Amino acid sequence: MSKAKIPVVKRSLFSWIFAGNLKFQLLLVLIIVAMVMTRVLPLEIEMQKRIVNEAINLRSIDKLLLYSGYYLAAVFVFSVLKYLTNIIQTLITQRTTARMRKDLYHHILTLPLNFFRKTQPGTVVNALGTELTLPGNFVGMAVASPVTNILTLLAFATYLFLLNPLLAAVSLSIYPIVVFLVPLLQRGVNKANKKRVDAARKFSARIAESISGIHEIHGNGAYRIENRKYDALVDRLLKIRIIWSLYRFAVKTSNGFFTSLGPFLVFLLGGYLAIKGRLELGALVAFLSAQERLFDPWKDLIEFYQVYQDGRINYDKTMRYFDTEPEHEIEPKDRGPLQLEGSVEVKDLSFTTDTGIHLLDGINVSLKPGEHLALVGFSGSGKSTLALCIGQLYKYTGGSIMIGDREVSALTKKDMTNNIGFVAQNPFIFDGTIEENILYSTNAQFDDNGQSEYAEMPTLDDIIAVLHQTGIFVDILRFGLNAILTHDQNEELVKMIIRVRKNFQQDFGQELSEYVEFFDENKYLQYSSVSENIIFGAADRDEFADINLSRNEYFLNFLKTADLTRPLLSLGTDLCRQTVDILGNLPPDSVFFEQSPINAEELEAYKLLMDQLKKKKWHELTKEDRQKLLELALRFTPGVHKMAALPEMLETLILEGRALFRQKITADDPQAITFVEMSQYIYSQTILNNIFFGKTKTANPQAQERINQSIIQLLIEEDLLETIIEIGMHYQVGTKGDKLSGGQQQKLAIARIFLKAPNILIMDEATSALDNKSQTRIQNLLETRWKKKNTVISVVHRLDTIKNFDKVAVMKAGRILEMGTYDELMGRKGMLYELVGKK
């Protein structure tokens, strides 16, 4: 029988030294022994002595070269071995720190939900990211540092006694004082370090809480409150770190002071002995050198001692903080996960918090496989708590919950996740793609090697089915259509999109002509800006983007060449004058500026410019003012900005300029622009824009829906719909799904559970963020496809959706006051009748 694995929070810091590092640590010891021997035998210092006594005094060049060569060889070999030691130490440190982080993170994920109600995310982040660094550093040094430095100290101390016992005894006499003093000061370091770790945790937690609650801070204007809390923590951390640093510097300073006394004693006593002829000059030089070398290993030992103390404190406090047992076994031992029946039997269930508050009391519920139960009641009645207890997310304190023939409290997490799906009111969407999120419920069934425990993973058809069912299919299709392809993506896909583009205009061009202005290189496009009409393509570099053209020197020079500068300045002046005259005295509401190329925020600037135009000619304006006029003209879109008209002569000049610009830029910079051609895919544009190949004339939702349906029809005909959906599935949802709306997040969470199709589905107000149409769709799906097949327990917030549930349980103050079918309860005219609001 295999030995039970010790939980990471129960392991001592020393247990990590050899665990997984034994070979590296043994190799380190061998290298260190060789390194010390290299440094001592042939001893660098002995070579110094011989160079002075035998080579220099006897004026022997041969011995000078020989001993210098020995010295150089010893230094070179020592340096190589030292480098190898550092590499292995780093490997041990980083490997151990990584294993600590992994094991602790794996443990943290299994902790009860109640633990996380009391623990800020910043505390967990700080523990995993910062507080395990010092313990990892200690493990990397645990063998190498003491072995290296103790052997080196012993070697040099022995050599000193061989040179002169009296001088050695005197110079080494200061070290016992240091051995006594350093631990005394280290106690102060340890005490301050404990406070520093606690303060750092609170500091990280404060930041995490503020960022998480940023909406509340802004909504309540609570900047001063939060600043005061944060500043107080920073000030406290400042004081603690100063005291901690003072103690640390005291250790280093006292150690340095006493160590520096060594040379003083050697100079004093050694000089006296040399003057009296009782000590050779070379021996004195060698003694001074060896005595100086004692400082490095001694200093390293002191630093190692500090690393050990800091690492031990960080490690112990971190592991103690997370030393909480999981409420349930994670995986079954010696068997696979159970396949349970969908029946649920709740008897005399009670749930009491750590503080003694009774959230559930005497709950009894019985559900057959495939039955649907609605839990209703006022806020705080215990509906969600009951659902969480059935799902084993809360550990109930009394009574019994049976799923099939098994007690929930005795089941492992693996058993539960294999049979139950859970959708929360505020579902969590993970950073990543839609595909990763929708497969999350099935990915949870992967083993440690990434192998699925399912015989068959969900197919694309399965995924598309649940996307349709939950109503998020259209959103994902839109994400796919709004994706931008790269040049190295499927060439066949590009060809198919171009074919869809041609078919779209052929099949629907006439029908959609009142809604769409298709691109035509021979016509002026009324629903495209002046700059878009000139360029008639998509910029492949930022300097040719529409917003940058008024500052692009190449484009400005082209306008002069094409005789377009003055007409465009004249157009910009007319637009500025008309907008200021018509809108100048209206409030800065965007609704008034919908038909103007000037937006509300720019109005004041253009008023000032209009004042300048009354006094000056164009050539007298500043470069910035002329740029504003030109920018205004370039953004002018006749079909949208109906406050002014485009002169017919300028329209003709722009069409001529379009051909001239294409000819010029193609010769000068062919990589700058991708021109609009029916046979050309524009990689800087979305798939939708490449298919659409034009501009809409209206924002009418019905027109947009008609256009979308036409495109979808063509995608289906070309067998491209699934491909676009796959592209949309790679859409990055952002941190916590912040690139999705609340409704999209809920639909995605429901879709991933529908894909899992568990025997028992628990929904805790899972459709609260959905519109009525989407809620009705989900409810109809549950009633038609899930009833009699899968058991559903739903915490309901909308009472008009519960009519077709098999059972309705009305809760108040942690108790079920009445239970039955909707019609039965309404007939009794009890609590449900009151909740619905009928009399």
Six token digits for residue 418:
């294999």
**Residue 663's pLDDT band (cuts 50, 70, 90):** very high
Confidence of residue 511 (pLDDT cuts 50, 70, 90): confident
Residue-wise pLDDT tens digits, 718-755: 889 999 999 999 999 988 888 988 889 999 999 999 99
Provide the pLDDT for residue 793. Answer: 93
Q: Is the pLDDT of residue 213 over 60?
A: yes
pLDDT digits (tens, 9 = 90+) for 78-137: 888 888 888 898 899 989 999 999 999 989 888 888 888 888 787 888 888 888 888 998
Mean pLDDT across the stretch 3-7?
73
CB of 804 closer than 8 Å to CB of 783: yes
Query: What is the rounded end-to-end Cα distance, in angstroms, of the chain?
Result: 68
pLDDT in tens, 49-91: 666 666 666 677 777 777 677 777 777 888 888 888 888 988 9
Cβ 718 vs Cβ 499: under 8 Å: yes
pLDDT more than 70, % of the chain? 86
Q: Which residues of 303-326 are buried (b: 16+ CB within 10 A; e: fewer)?
A: bbbbbbbbbbbbbebbbebbebee
* Type of residue found at 617: K
Contact 613, 600 (CB under 8 A): no
| C-alpha separations of 711 from 463, 489, 508 in Å | 22, 22, 9
pLDDT of residue 455: 47
171 pLDDT above the threshold of 70:
no
- Residue 302, pLDDT > 90, answer no
pLDDT confidence band for 560 (50 / 70 / 90): very high
812 forms beta bridges with: 815
Q: What is the pLDDT of residues 13-57, one digit of tens each?
A: 999 988 888 888 899 889 888 887 776 554 555 566 666 666 666
Q: Mean of the pLDDT values across residues 401-409? A: 92
Looking at residue 590, its pLDDT comes to 72
Burial 36-55, CB ≥16 within 10 A → b, else e: bbbbbebbbbbbbbbbbbeb
Q: Average pLDDT for residues 535-552, to the nearest whole number? A: 88
Mean pLDDT of 565-584: 88
Query: What integer pLDDT is reported at residue 479 of this predicted model?
Result: 92
Q: Tell me the DSSP string of 321-358.
A: HT----SS-SS-SSSPPP---S-EEEEEEEEE-TT--E
Instruction: Examine the pLDDT at 281 and tell me if it is beyond 90.
Output: no
Distance CA 28, CA 8 (A): 26
Q: Which residue has the higher pLDDT, 837 or 481?
A: 481
Residue-level pLDDT at 234: 84
Residue 402 β-bridge partners? 345, 407
Question: Closest Cα partner for 212 from 112, 124, 115, 114?
Answer: 124
Residue 829: pLDDT band with limits 50, 70, 90: confident
pLDDT of residue 599: 85
Query: What element of type H or E holds 134?
Result: helix 133-141
More confident residue, 445 or 188: 188
Alpha carbon distance 290, 161 (integer Å): 11
Identify the helix (H) or strand (E) that includes residue 777: helix 772-781
| Mean pLDDT, the chain, integer | 83
- pLDDT of 287: 62
Name the range with the highest mean pLDDT among 217-221, 530-534, 546-550, 573-577: 530-534
Residue pLDDT, tens place only, 494-504: 889 999 999 98
- For residues 724 and 478, what is the distance between their CA atoms, to the nearest angstrom? 9
Whether the bond into 7 is cis, omega within 30 of 0: no
pLDDT of residue 458: 83
Vertex 37, ends 36 and 43: CA angle to 5°?
100
Asked which of 274-288, 661-675, 795-809 is least confident by mean pLDDT, the reply is 274-288
pLDDT of residue 365: 93
Tokens found for residue 184: 């005394």
| pLDDT at residue 153, as a whole number | 75
Distance CA 194, CA 244 (A): 10
Which amino acid, residue 161?
Answer: F
CA–CA separation, 219 and 229 (whole Å): 18
pTM (predicted TM-score): 0.75
Which of 269-283, 709-723, 781-795 is predicted least confidently? 269-283
Query: What is the C-alpha to C-alpha distance for residues 751 and 457, in angstroms, rounded to an integer?
Result: 15
